[in-house]
Structure 1
Amino acid sequence: MVCLGNICRSPLAEGILKSKVNSANVYVDSAGTGGYHIGSKPDSRSIEIAHKFGIDITNQRCRKFHISDFERFDVIYVMDDSNYENILDLANSASDEQKVKLLLDVLDYGPQEVPDPYYGGKDGFKNVYHMIDEACSKIANSLNQLN
């Protein structure tokens, strides 16, 4: 799960998907394309909204996406077009590029970005949570059918 700073959207996506899959079979992580917050906890508003829905993301620490992530992960879900392009720019092969997907593309209503709630207040975080949760439910259902 990838966003810009790895403090708002991608930590939520990591926590939500982890809550829906068997961790013995599926490894979920998150990162940012920018290194602004390396080592920091997620934004307090992300922690708060996750907690409201029974998910604890307080132990997560922000990290920057690294080119080796293409080897470590089968799929790389990105929150928006800008970060999608940033990740594609790091790809070394067509195989790497095929791993990169916009998170909300898994939903039937087509491509859409997960907006950055950082400057949008608490309602922004709630709305983003529900968007990510819907996409993660669909991903988890697919993964759980495989295992």
Structure 2
Amino acid sequence: MKQKLRKIVSKLKKKPDAVFLHFTGNVFGLGCSAFNEKAIERISKLKKRRKQKKGFIVLIPDKSWLQKFHIKYDGKFEPLLQQYWPGNLTAIFKDEQGVFPHLSPNGTIAFRVPTSQFLRDFIIEFDEPIISTSINISGESPLVDLAAIRNEKKGWFDYEILPPELEKSQSQVSTIIDVTGNENKLLWEGSIKFEDIELSYQKPQILFVCTGNICRSPMAEYLLKEKIKEYNLNFRVKSAGFLDSGVRISTNSYQVLKDYGIDALHHVSSAIDEKLIQNSWLILTMEEKHKDELLKIAPNAGGRVFTLSEYCGREFCVPNCNIEDPFNLEIYFYRETFKKIKERIEVLAEKLLEMERKSSVLKK
């Protein structure tokens, strides 16, 4: 795959004003280097757009590229970007240093991290951000079928930058938010609902995951909820597992929590799904195998899925990062599991407290 990308990039570097067809993971797009004004102007003419370059989205492979191009934003938006990138969220930032003058006539610019791993790898190899826009004349419906694009718009692009295995175009419009100030502004609702974004902005969700969601992850959930109350933190906490929903917390887990002064009598298990993963800013698993299974469901969630142990520090990963399942063992083993989880939750709570302190006083 890397060899293929190198060949594509080599061709593009020889023709820097080239326009190319690409696939974001949701839709087909027309793109070029975000720094090549000639290519951008060509795309504008093909689409019969006005001279002003509003509406072009800049694609980057990961959030760190914002810093690379001196794009600053309020630290309160950090969890939101971590949660929804890569994904179908477009965010508008200030281009204070004028890095993209031909794309930000009013001083603002839109960025997104695409869901396609192939496209992200291409941008890294290309070593330049690219613009992305729908394949249509302005005011008309965009083309979403590859055969139709090749037939009707073949002269619009010089190259095709498409993954070997192409998923079906879903025609999902991205949700657009404005992060140029210190408050979240919701501009356009696409595939991600406004209410989900606003809730994630106000109170990011932390999700604990184990096998059945009746032993270990409920311990972590209820312990962290206590710490959140104690520290007055703005986070939501939930837990889930890979088995069926609706099962009561195990008797021994209930008992060790009760011994600590926490009543978890009404806890019933929840099953993990894509929606729950998307709605969570941080996902912490009890074992490595849970992490691996989650990434099969949501491959793009890699930047926010960790074992609880590794997230709290490598010292908790000796000899490994697993917190073993006490299911069906004597209560002694549940108490030992509880001690391990409690120790890590105390570290996690301190990390969250420090994060809130920083976001309240710093601008990234």
If the length of structure 1 is used for normalisation, what is the TM-score?
0.90
Q: Aligned letter for 2:298?
A: A
Higher strand fraction: Structure 1 or Structure 2?
2
Alpha-carbon distance between aligned partners in 1 of 2:212 and 2:227, rounded to the nearest angstrom: 24
Mapped partners of 1:52, 1:32: distance in 2: 24
Write the letter of the residue equivalent to 1:16.
Answer: L
Q: Quick check: 1:146 aligned with 2:349?
A: no
Deviation by residue 1:40-71 (Cα, 9 ceiling, x = unmatched): 22101000000111112112210101111222
**Map of 1:103 onto structure 2:** 308
Could you say what secondary structure the match of 2:306 adopts? strand
Residues 103-142 of structure 1 mapped to structure 2, 5 A cutoff: 103-105=308-310, 106-111=312-317, 112-142=321-351
Q: Residue type of the partner of 1:50?
A: L
**1:21 is matched with which residue?**
228
SS of the residue corresponding to residue 284 of structure 2 reads strand
Q: Hey, what's the Cα distance between the residues in 2 that align with 1:42 and 1:19?
A: 18
Is 1:59 the equivalent of 2:262? Answer: no
More helix by share: 1
2:294 counterpart residue number: 87
Amino acid at match of 2:236: Y
Label 1:33 to 1:135 Cα distance change in 2 as closer, same or farther (>3 A). same
CA distance in 1 between counterparts of 2:314 and 2:285 reads 17
Which stretch of structure 1 is more off in the superposition, 57-66 or 4-13?
Answer: 57-66
Structure 2 unmatched ranges of 5 or more? 1-207, 357-364
Matched, 1:5 2:212: yes
Shift in Å at residue 83 of structure 1?
1.3
Q: For 2:305, give the aligned amino acid.
A: V
Asked whether the 8 Å contact 2:213–2:241 carries over to 1, the reply is yes
Give 1:92 deviation, angstroms: 4.0
Alpha carbon RMSD of aligned pairs, Å? 1.5
Task: Choose between structure 1 and 2 for higher RCO, CA contacts under 8 A separated by at least 6 residues.
Answer: 1
Paired residues of 2:220 and 2:342 also in contact (CA < 8 A): yes
**Cα distance in 2, alignment partners of residues 51 and 113 from structure 1:** 24
Aligned residues: 143
* Alpha-carbon contact 2:233-2:353 (below 8 Å) kept: no
How far does residue 39 in structure 1 lie from its aligned partner after superposition?
1.1
Please say if 1:69 is aligned against 2:257.
no
Question: Structure 1: 5+ residue runs without aligned partners?
Answer: none
Structure-1 separation of matches of 2:274 and 2:250:
25
Other structure's SS at 1:119 match: coil
How far, CA to CA, are the matches of 2:220 and 2:213 in structure 1? 10
| Structure number, greater radius of gyration | 2
What do the CA deviations read for 1:120-147 (whole angstroms, capped 9, x no partner)?
2111100100110011111111112233
Structure 1 segments, 4+ long, off by >4 Å, are none
2:253 & 2:276 partners in 1: Cα distance?
24
Q: Structure 1 CA distance, aligned partners of 2:290 and 2:277? A: 15
- AA matched with 2:295: L
